[in-house]
Amino acid sequence: MKYEKKIPMRKDCGLHLFKELLNGKWKLMLIYYISTGFKRPGELQRKICTADRRVLANQLNELVVHGFVSKVIFDTKVPKVEYELTDLGKSLLPVILNLEAWGESNRAVLERALTV
Amino acid sequence: MKYEKKIPMRKDCGLHLFKELLNGKWKLMLIYYISTGFKRPGELQRKICTADRRVLANQLNELVVHGFVSKVIFDTKVPKVEYELTDLGKSLLPVILNLEAWGESNRAVLERALTV
DNA sequence: CCTTATAGGGATTAATTTATGCGTACTTGC
DNA sequence: GCAAGTACGCATAAATTAATCCCTATAAGG
């Protein structure tokens, strides 16, 4: 059962489009890791081990529904699933790397800010 | 009274540093508008008129506390306040413009994604 | 047979963030 | 005096997001 929003979404600028779709706690990280070759749910979960399995699964599902990631289900005896980035997902990589670079290059001051 | 987090903050990568500090609904927009010359609380509120005054004030206060914005209080008869970007706030502008550009250049597909 | 691994999910609670109700205080202009 | 403008803030409710509880099912390895 999908959660129905009560307050309308904001689509008035690119910042809000980004936020409405990619605000999830692990979404950008998932896209990044998928881009670096971690494609299977189990792999991703081990990579992001502080996140609960179901939270990651929910975020991955949303990424699929919104068209950032596609899900490939293999018809093998033992269940096997792989995620891969769509073109839309790939278009996000430069943005993610930019965000990551900003954060890392300001790490010292940002960590101090977090303690205030 | 500041809200005390019960779940520890994630500082493990630049993406999380960014998110912990700038996840607020209007924060990036406020930084952007301040950079374009809208410096006073009233101006900003009229510019972002769908947001409640108190919500904007809270987000501005956090931006000040975290060092993205500084607040100048003029000692005039009629209250007058101006915000301006710190160096840290300015360092964020390219990132914001990058996000905004990504969102706008993918607007069509993103708006469709929001309806799913 | 039992453990570990694969992958999944509905229902509920907890945590966090945003919105709102109801105030303060001062000044200018009519 | 009163309305409108400047700016601010506590306390609470509502909305949203994340975390957790308790499950299913199959296969391989020992």
* Helix (H), strand (E), coil (C) string for A13-56: CHHHHHHHHHCCCCHHHHHHHHHCCCCCHHHHHHHCCCCCHHHH
Q: Give A94's contacts in chain B (Cβ within 8 Å).
A: 98, 102
Domain that holds residue B58: 26-115
Q: What is the pLDDT of residues A17-73, one digit of tens each?
A: 999 999 999 999 999 999 999 999 999 999 999 999 999 999 999 999 999 999 999
Indicate left, alpha or beta for A87 from its phi (over 0: left) and psi (-120 to 50: alpha): alpha
Please report whether residue B18 resides in a domain: no
Domain count across chain A: 1
CATH code assigned at A95: 1.10.10.10
Please report whether residue B40 resides in a domain: yes
When pLDDT is cut at 50, 70 and 90, the band that residue B13 belongs to is: very high
When pLDDT is cut at 50, 70 and 90, the band that residue A3 belongs to is: confident
Please report whether residue B14 resides in a domain: no
Please report whether residue B7 resides in a domain: no
Which DSSP string corresponds to A84-108? EE-HHHHHTHHHHHHHHHHHHHTHH
Q: Give A65's contacts in chain B (Cβ within 8 Å).
A: 113, 116
Using the CB atom, is residue B7 less than 7 Å from strand C? yes
C-beta of residue A34 within 8 angstroms of C-beta of residue A83: yes
Covered bases, chain D (protein CB within 7 Å) = 5-11, 14-22, 25-28
Using the CB atom, is residue B2 less than 7 Å from strand C? no
Covered bases, chain C (protein CB within 7 Å) = 5-11, 14-22, 25-28
Please report whether residue A6 resides in a domain: no
Nucleotide nearest A20, CA–C1', reads: D16
Burial status of residue A79 (CB atoms within 10 A of its CB: 0-12, 13-18, 19 or more) = exposed
Q: What is the pLDDT of residues B61-100, one digit of tens each?
A: 999 999 999 999 999 989 999 999 999 999 999 999 999 9
Please report whether residue B20 resides in a domain: no
Residue A70's H or E segment, with its range, is strand A69-74
Please report whether residue B36 resides in a domain: yes
Q: B81 and chain A: CB distance < 8 Å anywhere?
A: no
